[in-house]
Amino acid sequence: MNTLLIEETKGTPSVRFYENGELFIEGRSLPEDPTRFYTPILEWVKHCTAETVTIHIRFEYMNTSSSKEIYTFFKLIKENVCIKKTTVIWYFEEGDDDGYDVGREFESFTQIPFIYHEYAEALD
């Protein structure tokens, strides 16, 4: 299993998945073809051999079709027999109740423990 690195674009998040189980997804997720974009991510998770996985997710925006792919991502994490412990660190912008609520929904659906980290809005 190799490191998976995907560069961020205007419509897709950066992805950095490391063999040690540190996984990062950051940015905007509104790809034209979510299945095509998320397929290598889902395949990587299926073959992950790390026993402990920490997932850092910081979406500026995520459309509905991306959220379906992220749900599948979490489902595959749970189904992977090699992964014994999973923690999600869910980042949301200060005052973004919707961003927080999306994390709570994923946590509820997946039964994976989430840690919520509120951050201040970035200055351009």
List pLDDT tens digits, range 81-108.
Answer: 999 999 999 999 998 999 999 999 999 9
Mean pLDDT of the chain: 95
**Which CATH code of 1.10.20, 3.30.750, 2.30.230, 3.40.50 fits the domain covering 4-86+103-119?**
3.30.750
Buried b or exposed e, range 32-45, using 16+ CB within 10 angstroms? eebeebbeebeebb
pLDDT at 121: 74
Q: Which of 37, 10, 28, 22 has its CA nearest to residue 99?
A: 28
Total-model pTM:
0.92
List pLDDT tens digits, range 17-27.
Answer: 999 999 999 99
- Domains of the chain, residue spans: 4-86+103-119
pLDDT at 122: 62
Q: How confident is the model at residue 124 (pLDDT cuts 50, 70, 90)?
A: low
C-alpha to C-alpha distance for 72 and 55, rounded to whole angstroms: 14
List pLDDT tens digits, range 53-81.
Answer: 999 999 999 999 999 999 999 999 999 99
- pLDDT at residue 37 is higher than 90: yes
